[in-house]
Amino acid sequence: MAKIGDTLKPFTTQAYKQGKFVEVSEAEAKGKWSIFFFYPADFTFVCPTELEDLAGIYPKLQDMGVEVFSVSTDTHFSHKAWHDSSPAIGKIDFFMLGDQNHSIANNFDVLREGQGLADRGTFVVDPDGVIQLIEITSEGVGRNATELLRKVKAAQYIRNNPGEVCPAKWEEGEKTLAPSLDLVGKI
């Protein structure tokens, strides 16, 4: 699987976004924060609730300079058809990447061997194309966009404030820690 510190691998694919088919590559994610949000298949059950949840925080993420790419092993034709027919999916404004040749799922090593479907994995990538956060849940367990938002903020904070680290459960605006020799063994 992709690991913390790995660099985003190249890809090129067709995506559906806001009524259009567009070609997307890894270049789209360079120079800004990005979220790759994998799910098993269009027209299924947990997936739309998660995608709708994510759609809800997309405006905030855009304000924070974060792009979002949802990915399944369906085609962009299928994404478009789903967007047309599902009220939940119809709310999505971000990129829906077609990955029927499995290359993006393989790039992040989340393809379920033998099934041709991606695991339910979230990857947060920084502006240098380096993976900073990973979360994967088994089939049937829905993710939580609010917690994702918290972690993206923490990751942005420590990138912007070298020398500080965010303690457990840190929320935007709370105190952080500044590591120093004196703190060793004292927390």
Contacts of 139 (CB under 8 A, 6+ apart): 40, 46, 120
8 residue type, one letter? L
- Establish if 50 lies at the interface with a copy of itself (CB under 8 A): yes
Binding span for a copy of itself by CB under 8 A among 30-38, 61-69, 77-85 = 77-85
Selected binder of a copy of itself within 42, 61, 70, 96 (CB under 8 A): 42
Whether residue 159 contacts residue 124, with contact meaning beta carbons closer than 8 Å, is answered with no
Range 54-73, binding a copy of itself (CB under 8 A): 54, 73
14 exposed, middle or buried (CB, 10 Å; 0-12, 13-18, 19+)? middle
- Establish if 48 lies at the interface with a copy of itself (CB under 8 A): yes
- Establish if 44 lies at the interface with a copy of itself (CB under 8 A): yes
Between 52 and 67, whose beta carbon lies closer to a copy of itself? 52
Shortest separation between residue 62's beta carbon and a copy of itself, angstroms: 20
DSSP E strand boundaries for 41-105: 66-72, 95-98
Q: Which residues are known to be catalytic?
A: 47
